[in-house]
A and B are shown apart, each in its own frame.
Chain A
Amino acid sequence: MSQTLNSETSSNWRSKWNVLSSLLGPFLALAGVILFFVVADGIKAGEDTFWTQQNFRTIAVSTATVAVAALGMTVVIIAGGIDLSAGTAIALCATVLAWGLKEDVGKFLHRASLAESSKLVADGDAQVKRLAGELKKVEAAAEPNDDTQILIKKLSEELEAEQAKLDVSRVELARCRFWTASVAVILSVLTGCFCGFLNGLLVSTLRVVPFIVTLGTMMIYLGLAKHLGSETTVRPILGSIPEWLQDFTSLLQKALWLGVPVGVWLMLVLAIVLSAILRYSVFGRYVFALGSNESTARLCGINVPVTKIAVYTFAGFFVGMAGLYQFSRLSVGNPTSGSGLELRIIAAVVIGGASLSGGRGSVIGTLSGAAIMAVITSGCTLLELKNPIQDVILGVIIIAAVCVDQFRQRKLVR
């Protein structure tokens, strides 16, 4: 009896250790990679170029697009699926956003169009300038007599009126910009959700493995984006990109908020919300159950097809968000900018300790995975290692991460 008790206690300890190591493992790996580059950089350059606030800001921003999409991918992979269409779907979302700004989609909801309002503002501006110039000329040239007094009075009245009109036009233009930007952003995120929904629907109803379904939709989304952009890059009208969206991932001093751009904060908020959903919601339990054992999920009365559709749609929301980041960084909609991105996204999730056979994965792991890749890219650049070498190192890291994980799993099963 005491022996069984003993073994139960030790398995308790082991169980806790497993949970801890699976949580902290990717984090430790990240710390290791950072430490390596700090030391290597210190030896090579003699001064810190890696360990600077500026560099970490750059890393945070460059990891954001991949990280946000990887959060969604984490859910899909935990549920036992895969989404190869994520990359081109992100590009599609960014293209939709750019198209929305270019086509001024706000005009359908708001009475004035962006072009008209801008023209009004420009005209008003010119008028005000002209009147102000005239006024100045009159004041400077003529002696003060009644005629000029009257002229000056008339001119200043006119100027005031024009000024007031211009103010109204400016407000109107700001409204137009707001509407257009809002509608475009919402459209873009909805596009992401729809892409995910379509993936989920096909996976559930056709009963084809997600790898094949999303391989197909990857092509479809690429085609849709190209069609929308008439096979070229979509450039929004100048000035239609709202400032906040420009600042979203900008590294300019004015764009920073508590040290990093807003986009990085948003990524962290999304991550926290997602990990709460995975841990504390019914949906989260279903996601894990589905990936761990689909038969059991069915046996427990979970509506498997509906849950799958929900999972992919949910991941699609993150794809839409990643589209915002992509657009913010490029400030144009490039339909082909997402090709190959899906592999980086999946790599981030896998380095983070998720199992491609489902049932396992964590938000903190995924964030670490995305960060590890960004740190390696940045570190190699600073060490002046050539791009091909960076690729090789990333590849080695991916394989190593999965090997370490499998080794741990095998030990766990025994």
Chain B
Amino acid sequence: MTVLLTMSGISKRFGATQALKSVSLSVSAGRVLALIGENGAGKSTLMKVLSGAHAPDHGEMTLAGQSYRPTGPHAARMAGVSMIYQELNLAPHLSIEDNIMLGQERFRWGVLDRAAQRRIVCEALAKLGHGDLRPETPVQELSVGLQQVVEIARALVSNAKVIVFDEPTSSLARDDVQHLFDVIRRLKSEGLGIVYISHFLEEIRELCDCYSVLRDGESVGAGELAGVTDDQIVALMVGRSVDELFPHVPHQPGDVVLKLDRLSGAHLPKEVSFELRRGEILGISGLVGAGRTEMLRCLFGLDETRSGQVTIAAYSPNRSPRARMAAGLGIVSEDRKTEGLAQSRSIADNMTLSRLSPYARWGWLNLRTRRQQVDRLMKLMEVKAASQDQFVHELSGGNQQKVAIARVLHQEADVLLLDEPTRGIDVGTKSQIYRLMGQLAADGKAIVFVSSYLTELLAVCDRVGVMSRGRLKEIRPAREWTEEEVMSVAVSGEER
């Protein structure tokens, strides 16, 4: 068994955050390595270092016995490291052949050598067990699964030694997943080294030989998969203790204010039902792609609803965001940049945009009373800014998040849908947001709190539900869950 690739002592720092701390990894020929970790554990950063997108601050890499220091993704590919991402990198209008040969065309005196290209392409496709694909077919006519095959063929043509698969199954149907596994096994028998990133333990069990676990940017364990149980792996992934970060404000559940009855979206979520009471915080856990965000968006009327009923405070409003807001829903989007906030508008505009009526008479605004209100909100939320006229994009992430939450407060929503409200913000602000959530609950508001950070969910919420593959699997009071149990429900992905 020859070692193809080694990464040792890799460190990478972005500003104040240490994304990777002396991480080590080795990939052998003809083996599949599972790279495991929670969201934000540093898997993506590590792979970006491997593919040359980021240069490491410290550490050494070797590829096939030689020192390996890629200057960029193209250099990495030429050296023999190819990446297959969740989102495919294909030019949809070009043919299979053109896509595979893109950037590595065979030509003679400036004229494409079609015959040679075709031979290479067919050879690569045959190696992957897809010799039946016609090279002149436009890629957009292929299924997602076959598009993935095209991308893998491209890696083969560029003489890849190591191929990294970054959550390749999340957009695939069940049959396509099996095809992909067959393809990966073929690659393995060809003597390539494979890195396979996935959240799904059963996939890893089926496909991989060895594992390496990352947590908070550190390697916390590695070895042969045959020697460990699922529980041991989950414990390695989670392994954190709750500290005093989570202030507790006592609150009592009251009447039912929100009821979902088998709500289904166009794709996700699938038949989600739950009830939420005033003064209650409901946490929603699950992996990326489990349909948590989609569930909130359906609930708010932003995405298409296929079936199911939403009842807010005893009546069922229309499906438009406007009607849902009038009924008392408020949402904080997971993505502040592209959806949550109008970045090139002021704090005041962003806070009040969803409810300008208190300041408007005949369509004209009374800016003075609005100023007072915005000042009050900024004080309440402890927004650090020069003035309320400052543009939102000049604020730090934490302060932007406070503005987004302030908007929902200003809207006087009864039910707050918070999608990853603590992502990308510092610990102090997180703690402020937890306290605020407690206070809101004590004031009789109901909160749905979606987060990928299990520790905060279990510490802050009254009840926690776990979603997997679009379904809400199980809801329990928070104290009856352990992190391991949540993770094992989240990765139990039957029925794709």
Q: Which residues on A are within 8 Å of B, measured CB to CB?
A: 4, 8-9, 11-13, 15, 18-19, 280-283, 285, 288-289, 292-293, 295-303, 359-360, 412-413
Contact of A4 with B386 in the complex, beta carbons under 8 Å = no
For A8, A281, A293, the residue with the greatest tally of chain B CB atoms inside 10 Å of its CB is: A293
From B35-43, B133-141, B226-234, B356-364, the one touching the partner chain is B356-364
Considering the complex of A and B, which 8 residue pairs feature the smallest CB-CB distances, nearest first?
A: A12-B386, A292-B342, A300-B354, A295-B339, A301-B325, A293-B342, A301-B322, A300-B353
Q: How far is the CA of A25 from the CA of B342 in the complex (A)?
A: 24
Give every chain A residue within 8 A of B320 (Cβ-Cβ). 303
Give every chain A residue within 8 A of B338 (Cβ-Cβ). 293, 295
Give every chain B residue within 8 A of A412 (Cβ-Cβ). 391, 393-394
Give every chain A residue within 8 A of B385 (Cβ-Cβ). 8
Can you identify 13 A-B contacts, CB atoms within 8 angstroms? Answer: A12-B390, A281-B363, A282-B360, A285-B353, A285-B365, A288-B349, A293-B338, A299-B302, A299-B339, A301-B325, A302-B353, A360-B344, A412-B391
Contact of B367 with A289 in the complex, beta carbons under 8 Å = no
Chain B proximity of A21: nearest CB distance (Å): 14
CB interface residues, B 383-420, toward A, < 8 Å: 384-387, 389-391, 393-394, 407
**B341 adjacent to chain A (CB < 8 Å):** yes
Give every chain B residue within 8 A of A359 (Cβ-Cβ). 342, 344-345
Give every chain A residue within 8 A of B488 (Cβ-Cβ). none
Judged by DSSP, the binding face of A is: helix
Choose one: A15, A297, A299, A302; the contact of B387 (CB below 8 Å).
A15
Chain A proximity of B297: nearest CB distance (Å): 10
Choose one: A281, A296, A360, A413; the contact of B341 (CB below 8 Å).
A296
Instruction: Please report the number of residue pairs spanning A and B whose Cβ atoms sit closer than 8 angstroms.
Output: 93
Give every chain A residue within 8 A of B345 (Cβ-Cβ). 288-289, 292, 359
Q: Assess A11 versus B322: contact at CB under 8 Å? Given A292-B344, A295-B338, A296-B341.
A: no
Contact of A297 with B342 in the complex, beta carbons under 8 Å = yes
Q: How large is the interface on B (under 10, 10 to 19, 20 to 34, 35 or more residues)?
A: 35 or more
Q: Assess A280 versus B367: contact at CB under 8 Å? Given A15-B387, A298-B321, A299-B333.
A: yes
Give every chain B residue within 8 A of A15 (Cβ-Cβ). 386-387, 389-391, 394
Choose one: A8, A11, A13, A289; the contact of B353 (CB below 8 Å).
A289
Q: Assess A8 versus B386: contact at CB under 8 Å? Given A299-B333, A303-B322, A413-B393.
A: yes
Give every chain A residue within 8 A of B342 (Cβ-Cβ). 288-289, 292-293, 296-297, 359
B300-332 toward A: CB 8 Å interface, digit per residue (1/0)? 001000000000000000001110011000010
Chain B proximity of A17: nearest CB distance (Å): 12
Give every chain B residue within 8 A of A298 (Cβ-Cβ). 302, 321
CB interface residues, B 331-377, toward A, < 8 Å: 331, 333, 338-345, 349-350, 353-354, 356, 360, 363-365, 367
Q: Which residue of B lies closest to A360 (CB)?
A: B344
Choose one: B344, B367, B384; the contact of A8 (CB below 8 Å).
B384
Q: How far is the CA of A280 from the CA of B367 in the complex (A)?
A: 7
Chain A proximity of B71: nearest CB distance (Å): 25
Q: How far is the CA of A137 from the CA of B333 in the complex (A)?
A: 95
Q: How far is the CA of A413 from the CA of B386 in the complex (A)?
A: 16
Give every chain B residue within 8 A of A360 (Cβ-Cβ). 344
Q: Assess A300 versus B407: contact at CB under 8 Å? Given A15-B391, A413-B393.
A: yes
Q: Which residue of A lies closest to B357 (CB)?
A: A282
CB interface residues, B 168-227, toward A, < 8 Å: none
Q: Assess A283 versus B363: contact at CB under 8 Å? Given A293-B341, A297-B342.
A: yes
For B360, B363, B389, B394, the residue with the greatest tally of chain A CB atoms inside 10 Å of its CB is: B394
Chain B proximity of A176: nearest CB distance (Å): 37
Chain B proximity of A305: nearest CB distance (Å): 11
Give every chain A residue within 8 A of B322 (Cβ-Cβ). 301-303
Contact of B365 with A293 in the complex, beta carbons under 8 Å = no
